[in-house]
């Protein structure tokens, strides 16, 4: 047995030894240990290097608030978890842990040089030092800083574990299973409430796990704990969740819990979830989150071996570990005395008790004296000694040798969840802390988390809160009374405000995790920061992953003193979720890889796959981008597909287009009010190109609208716009024009759409649909008819997005693939499948815009060259009033034009900026930008579309694109490159 | 996540709904008669209260209907929901 381990006591299993390693060295611990207690049992205090100065750091606390002892635990290359608090890592056989933020080793870290150069790194040094030259920030400073100042490394391989997610509903959620939480859960459950009780530790009990001599209801506290847990577990209405942290409090009593299922096991079961996210919706919440012990601010308070007194007491009582052989206590509480006396009784020599309060409690001073411990009342700590472990502490100018310094700075209520719930905090002089005052949710705090310390008080408060919560759920219960005998000195508030250490005594840390010293805070105040939120951002105090659990209040006290104000006057910063870090895996759950987002495929998808199509993502859709043949790259494939459409016939899957059936006696009136176009004159069997504006006058969507019958329209939208156009239609239908009799139905997925485009399209279709009259007289451009195609009832549109003779065959989705295959077979050599890339080139050759590519939410119909579509005689339509504003008709607005490069094969970059003069250098004001750009196979040169200020008046002029490879000259043209008369369309 | 009582379907979680902005804005029946300022006011000027706010929601992944809600912007408490066309309670 290790010399640091006591002979008996605690909640460890002394016969179950566990081997583990830290930084490659093998150690032995016991079942029931945390990594921190096991390291201390082996005399290991140096466990990490600090964030900014790389100072040696040890274990400060015994719980979730640990700011220093952050380690990486590794199971294999993919299962490597950084930044775990050693105080929360449960030991298992074979555990491999390592320190972080040090190089080449924990003992000798070159980064420590930053500690000695620290005058260069004051508060806000990022902002002050790394300003110039500007370009060096991204290239040099930021990578350097990120490497030097950091925490653990993320694993390099994908996370192989599974993460579960569950929703749960309950009457009463109790957060924290200490005495208050247990009493609350019991009271609520006995009243018949459905209760969820969660606690972050391996077992319920909270402070009771530290044992002690108090008796509850006539039982030793450990026996009482066992009895209560058994009673709760026996109640089918209670769910008791251990290793479960409530990390976030969301509106309407929605609380996020993360349950760690396997991290404590030596051999996690295969296939089981590693962690589970619980999204709990509680009718009532009881917060029993306890309180957090605070460090004291003095020079050298961060050396390994300087530890919170209550933490050292926990290590002794719960884990049977003496954290040192000779200790000194620095305290502002009576509770600190009890810790020191505890350690003294367990064989730890106590060099002295330095009580920073002006007057020590006579009772406790006497007790110390009886144990021959010198008490230095009203003392000042000048500093500590030692490098990788504390070797002495200087109190009132006298240095005492010791290997453990205990700090007892009092407890602060854990109000994190309460504050996240948007409850209002108020300053309590008695608790010397902010405590919950007004709840925003159906919630109540109980026990230490509202500044009520002591076992009896916690039990009474918890029981009352649990009963009140049950009553608020409409249940009746009786008040539980718990008798406490032999209560020990309880947790308590600090007996003194934090004091700024004298200048020149070395660094006194306030925020251990972010390496913020008392001097940094003083500097911030001196530099004029007044708001605590600004001080926080400037110094980064309280901004580390520990959320300032051990630093916020000390920082507030020091800043308030500097500003000559009280702490409540200064106020507090915002508490944010998560309470402790949550893995990405837990938040993502099963929404990763293929399940991250639904994938939508068209009815013809498998056929395109079989033909070797390369796909692109368009929203959730997979669309065939091009169909390469052997040896072809995208450029060659697209060129071939373009030639095929212009010379013969192409076949294209347009099924992803949004489709909305607009039906009813007022369907035409509805569309008249909604789209810019006039539909009153549109005969059944004819189509019109429709443009939809937002009410602010900018183009929102476009598509072909067909009138199938006087009261029935088939509206198509862009692929990406389908859902939002339907939502906008529903908005106007339901809320602005409820008097119109019209019904809207999404039919996007009901129809498969096959486009046949090219001079041979009619001949291919004639063979496919022998019974249909496809002549231009019967079915002119922009007409629609019904018939059987490949034996399937179909709706046939004569429309074109290529400028060629074109048809779009709509068949019920289930028949899509069969009709597609039939068309390909019928077409034989004449027919070529083409993808979205070719579609883009062909439409750009014709100057057909794509909403969202050529327009960007600031384009009016006139800007996009579409003013012709507007129904001039209509008194009103969505967006009409806006496009009549003078600014919307200014001739200087950016207008759609074409561009031709002087060098014909030069393909411009989409998004490139256009200048009206050559050779300009920044700062410069572009006159426009390129929106679409392609190599045109049909024309043998490149083409581009652009939005250019006053563009239509610039046709024939030269513009200039300053590009990294040199300036490019372009000529402004009409946005129409191919077949300007449109003869092919009507062929 | 909020729990929103749809006036047609009852209490449902927020993910079933889409937000629709301030309620009780009526599209002017004859926009052409409005000055630019009046029209801009209709388009862009919105209340941003700290406290009670009448706002539109749509039960998008449910009944599909728009309705109005009175929500406290500081606490997210929903005091009432009511159908389109009904006066705020």
ipTM for the whole complex: 0.98
> Which of A925, A982, A922 is closest to A959 using CA atoms?
A925
C-alpha A695/C-alpha A362 separation (Å) is 77
CA distance A255 to chain B (A): 9
Instruction: Select the residue of B27, B76, B85 nearest A252 (Cβ to Cβ).
Output: B76
Within B1-89, residue ranges assigned H as helices are: 36-44
Whether the CB-CB separation of A970 and A914 falls below 8 Å is answered with yes
Low-confidence stretches of chain B (pLDDT < 70) are none
Q: What are phi and psi of A394, to 5 degrees?
A: -105, 115
Contact yes or no for A734 and B66 at CB 8 A: yes
Kindly report whether the peptide bond that precedes residue A243 is cis, defined as omega within 30 degrees of 0.
no
Distance of CA A617 to the CA centre of its chain: 23
Q: What are phi and psi of A843, to 5 degrees?
A: -70, -35
Maximum separation of any 2 CA atoms in chain B, in Å: 43
For residue A749, the model assigns a pLDDT of 97
In this prediction, residue A126 carries a pLDDT of: 59
Q: Which residues of chain A does B39 touch, with a Cβ-Cβ cutoff of 8 Å?
A: 881-882, 885
Closest to A455 (Cα-Cα) out of A480, A478, A489, A412: A489
C-alpha span between A764 and A733 (Å, rounded): 42
pLDDT score, position A15: 95
Q: What angle do CA A453, A457, A458 make, to 5 degrees?
A: 75
- CB-closest option in A441, A727, A876 to B31: A876
pLDDT for A127 equals 60
For the domain bounded by A890-987, which CATH number is listed? 2.40.30.110
Instruction: Please say whether the structural domain B3-83 has been given the CATH code 3.40.640.10.
Output: no
- Within A409-565, strands assigned E span 411-413, 424-428, 433-438, 443-445, 484-485, 509-511, 516-517
Domain at A607-656+750-843, CATH from 3.30.70.260, 3.30.70.100, 3.40.50.300, 3.30.1360.120 = 3.30.1360.120
> Which tokens hold the place of A566?
């009280």
Report whether A210 contacts A491 (CB < 8 A): no
Are residues B58 and A730, on separate chains, in Cβ contact within 8 Å?
A: yes
Interface A-B, measured as beta-carbon pairs within 8 A, has a size of: 55
Residue A512 burial class via C-beta count within 10 angstroms: exposed 0-12, middle 13-18, buried 19 and up? buried
Q: Nearest-CA neighbor of A540 among A849, A145, A27, A958?
A: A145
pTM metric for this prediction: 0.90
List of residues 6+ apart from A236 with CB closer than 8 A: none
Query: Closest chain A residue to B33 measured between Cα atoms?
Result: A881
CB contact under 8 A, A252 and B60: no
**Cα gap A359→A658, rounded to integer Å:** 79
User: pLDDT value at position A124?
Assistant: 65
Q: Identify the residue among A734, A737, A887 best suited for mutation to test binding to B, counting B beta carbons within 10 A and taking the highest.
A: A734
Domain ranges of chain A: 1-153, 162-291+413-485, 295-409, 497-583, 607-656+750-843, 658-746, 890-987
- Restricting to B residues 38-77, those with a Cβ less than 8 Å away from any Cβ of A are 39, 43, 56, 58, 60, 64-66, 74-76
What one-character-per-residue DSSP string does A748-777 give?
TTTEEEEEEESTTHHHHHHHH-TTS--STT
Tell me which DSSP letter residue A735 carries: I
The topology under which CATH files domain A658-746 is: Alpha-Beta Plaits (3.30.70)
Cβ of B39 within 8 Å of Cβ of A885? The answer is: yes
**Phi and psi of A51, rounded to 5°?**
-60, -50
| CA quadruple A14, A15, A16, A21: dihedral sign | positive
CB contact under 8 A, B66 and A881: no
* Among the listed residues A273, A279, A283, the one whose alpha carbon sits nearest the alpha carbon of residue A257: A279
Residues of A in contact with B22 (CB under 8 A): none
CATH topology of domain A295-409: FAD/NAD(P)-binding domain (3.50.50)
Q: What is the pLDDT of residue A148?
A: 56
What architecture (CATH level 2) is domain A497-583?
Answer: Orthogonal Bundle (1.10)
Say how far apart CA A717 and CA A660 lie, in whole Å: 8
Contact A957, A972 (CB under 8 A): yes
- My answer on whether omega of the bond before A130 falls inside 30° of 0, hence cis, is no
Nearest to B75 among A279, A440, A738 (CB): A440
CB-based contact B39 A279, cutoff 8 Å: no
Question: Could you tell me which chain B residue has the CA closest to the CA of A888?
Answer: B36
CA distance A466 to A193: 9
Segments in chain A below pLDDT 70: 1, 116-150
Residues on chain B touching A277 (C-beta within 8 angstroms): none
Topology, domain A162-291+413-485: FAD/NAD(P)-binding domain (3.50.50)
What are the sequence ranges of the domains in chain B?
3-83
Confidence (pLDDT) at A129: 57
Helix (H) / strand (E) containing A351: strand A349-355
Query: Considering just the CA atoms, what is the radius of gyration of chain B in Å?
Result: 14
Domain A1-153 has CATH 3.40.50.2020: no
DSSP helix/strand/coil, A80: strand
CB contact under 8 A, A881 and B39: yes
């Amino acid at each position: 047995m290790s010399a640091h381990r006591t002979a008996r006591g605690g909640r460890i299993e002394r016969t179950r030894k566990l081997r583990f390693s830290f930084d490659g060295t093998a150690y032995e611990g016991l079942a029931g240990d945390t990594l921190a207690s096991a390291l201390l049992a082996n005399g290991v205090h140096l466990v990490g290097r600090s964030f900014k100065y790389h100072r040696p750091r040890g274990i400060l606390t015994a719980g979730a608030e640990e700011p220093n002892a952050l380690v990486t635990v590794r199971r294999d290359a993919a299962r490597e978890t950084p930044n775990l608090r050693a105080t929360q890592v449960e030991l298992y056989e074979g555990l491999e842990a390592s320190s972080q933020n040090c190089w080449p080793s924990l003992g000798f870290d070159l980064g420590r040089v930053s500690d000695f150069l620290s005058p260069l790194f004051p508060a806000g040094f990022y902002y002050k030092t790394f300003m110039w030259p500007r370009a060096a920030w991204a290239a040099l400073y930021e990578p350097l800083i990120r490497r030097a100042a950091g925490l653990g490394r993320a694993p390099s391989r994908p996370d192989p574990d599974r993460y579960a997610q569950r929703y749960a509903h309950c009457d009463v959620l109790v957060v924290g299973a200490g005495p208050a939480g247990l009493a609350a859960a019991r009271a609520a459950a006995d009243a018949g409430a459905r209760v969820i009780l969660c606690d972050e530790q391996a077992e319920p009990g909270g402070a009771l796990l530290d044992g002690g001599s108090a008796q509850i209801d006539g039982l030793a506290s450990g026996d009482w704990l066992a009895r209560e847990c058994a009673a709760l577990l026996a109640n089918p209405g209670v769910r008791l969740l251990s290793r479960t942290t409530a990390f976030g409090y969301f509106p309407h009593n929605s609380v996020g819990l993360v349950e760690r299922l396997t991290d404590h096991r030596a051999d996690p079961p295969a296939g089981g979830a590693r962690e589970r996210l619980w999204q709990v919706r509680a009718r009532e919440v009881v917060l029993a989150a306890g309180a957090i012990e605070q460090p004291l601010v003095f020079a050298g308070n961060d050396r390994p071996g300087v530890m919170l007194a209550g933490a050292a007491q926990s290590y002794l009582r719960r884990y049977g570990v003496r954290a040192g052989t000779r200790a000194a206590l620095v305290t502002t509480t009576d509770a600190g005395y009890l810790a020191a006396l505890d350690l003294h009784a367990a064989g730890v020599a106590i060099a002295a008790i330095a009580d920073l309060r002006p007057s020590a409690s006579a009772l406790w001073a006497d007790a110390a004296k009886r144990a021959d411990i010198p008490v230095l009342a009203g003392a000042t700590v000048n500093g500590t000694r030692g490098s990788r472990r504390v070797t002495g502490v200087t109190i009132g100018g006298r240095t005492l040798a010791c290997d453990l310094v205990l700090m007892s700075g009092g407890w602060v209520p854990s109000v994190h969840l309460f504050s996240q719930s948007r409850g209002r905090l108020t300053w309590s002089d008695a608790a010397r802390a902010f405590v919950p005052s007004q709840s925003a949710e159906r919630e109540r705090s109980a026990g230490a988390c509202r500044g009520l310390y002591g076992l009896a008080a916690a039990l009474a408060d918890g029981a009352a809160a649990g009963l009140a919560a049950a009553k608020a759920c409409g249940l009746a219960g009786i008040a539980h009374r718990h008798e406490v005998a032999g209560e020990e000195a309880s947790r308590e508030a600090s007996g003194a405000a934090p004091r700024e250490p004298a200048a020149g005594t070395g660094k006194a840390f306030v925020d251990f995790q972010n390496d913020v010293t008392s001097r940094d805070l003083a500097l911030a105040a001196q530099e004029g920061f007044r708001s605590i939120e600004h001080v926080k951002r400037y110094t980064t105090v309280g901004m580390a992953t520990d959320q300032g659990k051990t630093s916020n209040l000390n920082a507030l006290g020091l800043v308030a003193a500097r500003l000559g104000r009280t702490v409540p006057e200064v106020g507090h910063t915002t508490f944010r979720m998560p309470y402790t870090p949550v893995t990405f895996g837990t938040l993502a759950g099963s929404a990763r890889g293929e399940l991250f987002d639904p994938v939508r495929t068209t009815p013809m998808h498998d056929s395109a796959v079989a033909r070797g199509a390369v796909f692109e993502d368009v929203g959730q859709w997979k669309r065939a981008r091009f169909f390469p043949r052997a040896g072809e790259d995208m450029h060659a494939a697209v060129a071939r597909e373009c030639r095929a459409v212009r010379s013969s016939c192409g076949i294209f899957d347009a099924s992803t287009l949004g489709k909305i059936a607009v039906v009813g006696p007022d369907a035409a009136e509805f569309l008249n009010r909604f789209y810019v176009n006039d539909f009153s004159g549109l005969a059944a069997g004819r189509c019109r190109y429709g443009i939809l504006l937002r009410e602010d006058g900018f183009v929102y969507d476009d598509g072909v609208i067909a009138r199938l019958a006087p009261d029935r329209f088939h509206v198509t939208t862009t692929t990406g716009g389908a859902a939002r156009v339907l939502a906008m239609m529903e908005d106007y239908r339901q809320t602005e024009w409820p008097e119109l009799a019209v019904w809207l139905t999404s039919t996007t997925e009901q129809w498969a759409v096959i486009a046949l485009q090219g001079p041979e399209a009619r001949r291919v279709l004639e063979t496919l649909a022998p019974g249909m009259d496809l002549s231009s007289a019967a079915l002119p451009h922009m007409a629609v008819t019904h018939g059987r195609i490949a034996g399937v009832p179909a709706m046939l549109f004569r429309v074109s997005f290529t400028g060629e003779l074109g048809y779009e065959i709509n068949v019920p989705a289930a028949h899509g693939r069969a009709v597609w295959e039939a068309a390909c077979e019928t077409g034989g050599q004449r027919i070529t499948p083409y993808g979205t890339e070719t579609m883009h080139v062909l439409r750009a050759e014709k100057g057909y815009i794509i909403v969202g590519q050529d327009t960007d939410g600031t384009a009016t119909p006139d800007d996009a060259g579409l003013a012709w579509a507007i129904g001039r005689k209509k008194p009103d339509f969505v967006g009409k009033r806006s496009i009549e504003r003078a600014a919307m008709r200014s001739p200087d607005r950016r207008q759609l034009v074409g561009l031709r490069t002087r060098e014909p094969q030069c393909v411009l970059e989409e998004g490139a900026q256009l200048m009206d003069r050559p050779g300009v250098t920044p700062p410069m004001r572009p006159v426009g930008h390129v929106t679409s750009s392609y190599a045109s196979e049909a024309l043998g040169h490149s083409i581009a579309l652009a939005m250019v200020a006053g563009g239509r008046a610039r046709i024939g002029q030269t513009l200039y694109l300053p590009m990294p490879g040199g300036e490019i000259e372009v000529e402004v043209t009409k946005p129409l490159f191919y077949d300007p008369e449109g003869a092919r369309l009507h062929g | 996540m909020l729990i929103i009582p749809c006036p047609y379907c009852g209490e449902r979680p927020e993910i079933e709904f889409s937000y629709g902005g301030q309620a009780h804005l009526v599209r002017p029946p004859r926009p052409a008669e409005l000055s630019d300022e009046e029209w801009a006011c209709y388009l862009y000027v919105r209340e941003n209260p700290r406290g009670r706010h009448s706002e539109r929601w749509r039960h998008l992944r449910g009944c599909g209907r728009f309705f109005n809600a009175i929500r406290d912007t500081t606490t997210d408490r929903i005091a009432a929901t009511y159908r389109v066309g009904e006066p705020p309670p």
